[in-house]
Chain A
Amino acid sequence: MTTATAALGKDLVGLEPLSAEQIRLILDTAEPFKEVSERSIKKVPALRGKTIVNLFFEASTRTRISFEFAEKRLSADTVNVAASGSSVSKGETLVDTARNLEAMRIDMVVMRHGSSGAARFLGERIASNVINAGDGKHEHPTQGLLDMLTLRDHFGRLEGLKVAICGDVLHSRVARSNIWGLTKLGAEVGVCGPMTLMPRDVRELGVTVLPRIEDAIQWADALNILRLQLERMQAGFLPSLREYNRVFGVSNDRLSKAPKDLLIMHPGPMNRGVEIDSDVADGPHSVILPQVTNGVAVRMAVLYLLAGGTPALAQSAGRAEDK
């Protein structure tokens, strides 16, 4: 008997602890959820009566709204808690905040936090399901999953695909989730960016290091261009934005030298004219907006699977005992 625990476990902390099979299960489950968002009544009753708290200790627009849409389209009841204006700003600890929420009988927590490992820490201490919506420099699993779903939509497969992650890999939880997820499913991952923004042990993650953006463009089938966090400049990682754009910016001029059309992805929010030129972001090979659409479907799949929506073997479909 397949149970929810066997399918995904209690929490979604990252893609590193998941097996290829579990990642594939989430991506396959996301497929039918795409259609729910295309209906005129964008709602199914699957999570009716479940209470979900979106606990965001860091600013987020896209991810928080995407989770909220996913929750609402599954008929869950949702509450948003932002760190500012809550008891967190009065010095309450993370665990105390979560335990107080649990005392109000919640079922799931979606959390974004500035500290790496915060999601696992919380998941080990409360009974509710915890979903990591980004923790420090560690992982952002649902972003990794939606990137993989978008790649699979476009290429029909992930095996053997060459995906170059470009930019600030060092500080990027998106990069880490992409690297774990893609390599588990048989894609090749390259990383490209200034050496000051590369993790020292990056090769140990099983990726190809591409020192120049021109190399990435020659090598890859798809570019996943990371947002250059502007505060990195103050920290001395980069001399100037202009120079970054000149050396690493993805422009149509550079892309025209590619041996094939490259799929262009970006997790947002974009700095137009820094890591990506507007012509590229709005160009015919950009799937930046389809990524956002897929984000809702992937998050619905994760919520559904963690809530106990267990897919059995395909052959039992239609053989359900209670017709």
Chain B
Amino acid sequence: MPTRTEILDAKAVGRALARMATEIVERCRGTEGVVLVGIQRRGVPLAERLKVLIDQAEQSDLPTGKLDITLYRDDLQTVGPRPVVGVTELPDLDGRIVVVVDDVLYTGRTVRAALDECADFGRPRRILLCVLIDRGGRELPIQADIVGAAVPTEEGDRVDVLVTELDGRDAVELVRGARP
């Protein structure tokens, strides 16, 4: 039987996002040329939240975008459930600092695909990776620049990030034994 434990509640998610917003501004030395790009689906609302937090603190109006990496995946051939193809909408990336936002960093394959897709849209000055949860288990040499929380997990575990926009509430839950 899989067991489900809450790792972060709504307040903790809020605190993590506030800290991430501050870190983004620090890492980028301000908001000049910064673009927030969320990976479909849960990276998109997280990027929007970070935009609001940064804009409030910095009196800025950061451009945001959405990235759907389905068509850049390397596993079209392998059998398994795959997300529906979503929409990609990106602002101009040339010469910008692109902050790629996602909910969970695991194998790194999604990020690899996202980097390839960004390269097809322009030549950013710099790309930063910002994730709410780093659960370890990388299969590629990829690391996050800004992390909300690092959660050590095992192979059979699953980390569910819930966001109000899509799931009705904010929370991060660890499901143990989700896969045999």
Please report A residues at the B interface, Cβ cutoff 8 Å: 1-3, 28-29, 31-33, 35-36, 39-41, 43-47, 74, 304, 307-314, 316-323
A318 touches B81 (CB 8 A): no
Q: Contacts of A33 on B, CB cut-off 8 Å?
A: 85
A307 to B70, CA, bound (A): 14
A319 to B167, CA, bound (A): 12
Please report B residues at the A interface, Cβ cutoff 8 Å: 40-43, 68, 70-73, 75-77, 79-89, 102-107, 109-110, 116-117, 120-121, 135, 139, 158, 160, 166, 179
Query: 8 closest A-B pairs (Cβ-Cβ)?
Result: A312-B81, A317-B83, A323-B106, A318-B41, A44-B71, A311-B84, A46-B71, A323-B104
Q: Contacts of B80 on A, CB cut-off 8 Å?
A: 1
Known: A318-B103, A321-B179, A322-B107. A313 touches B81 (CB 8 A): yes
A–B complex contacts, Cβ < 8 Å, 8 sampled: A32-B85, A32-B88, A45-B71, A311-B84, A320-B110, A323-B105, A323-B106, A323-B110
B179 touches A309 (CB 8 A): no
Identify A310's interface contact among B82, B86, B87, B160, CB under 8 A.
B82
Q: Contacts of A28 on B, CB cut-off 8 Å?
A: 84
A279 to B84, CA, bound (A): 41
Known: A32-B68, A43-B120, A322-B109. A307 touches B84 (CB 8 A): no
A47 to B70, CA, bound (A): 12
Q: Contacts of A32 on B, CB cut-off 8 Å?
A: 68, 70, 85-88
A310 to B73, CA, bound (A): 12
Please give the distance in Å from A214's CB to the nearest CB on chain B.
Answer: 42
Please give the distance in Å from A179's CB to the nearest CB on chain B.
Answer: 28
Q: Contacts of A29 on B, CB cut-off 8 Å?
A: 84-85
Q: Known contacts A308-B77, A309-B76, A322-B75; can you find 9 more A-B pairs with CB under 8 A?
A: A28-B84, A35-B89, A46-B71, A46-B73, A316-B83, A320-B83, A320-B110, A321-B158, A322-B107
A312 touches B82 (CB 8 A): yes
Tell me the nearest residue of chain A to B77, going by C-beta: A308
A32 to B87, CA, bound (A): 5
Q: Contacts of B72 on A, CB cut-off 8 Å?
A: 44-46
A309 to B84, CA, bound (A): 9
A82 to B157, CA, bound (A): 53
Known: A2-B81, A317-B40. A45 touches B116 (CB 8 A): yes
Q: Contacts of B117 on A, CB cut-off 8 Å?
A: 44
Please give the distance in Å from A271's CB to the nearest CB on chain B.
Answer: 37
A314 to B107, CA, bound (A): 22
Q: Contacts of B160 on A, CB cut-off 8 Å?
A: 319
Identify A318's interface contact among B42, B106, B107, B139, CB under 8 A.
B42
A35 touches B88 (CB 8 A): yes
Known: A39-B121, A46-B71. A1 touches B88 (CB 8 A): no
Please give the distance in Å from B70's CB to the nearest CB on chain A.
Answer: 8
A308 to B74, CA, bound (A): 12
Q: Contacts of B43 on A, CB cut-off 8 Å?
A: 318
A320 to B107, CA, bound (A): 11
A41 touches B86 (CB 8 A): no
Q: Contacts of A46 on B, CB cut-off 8 Å?
A: 70-73, 76
A311 touches B104 (CB 8 A): no
A33 to B121, CA, bound (A): 15
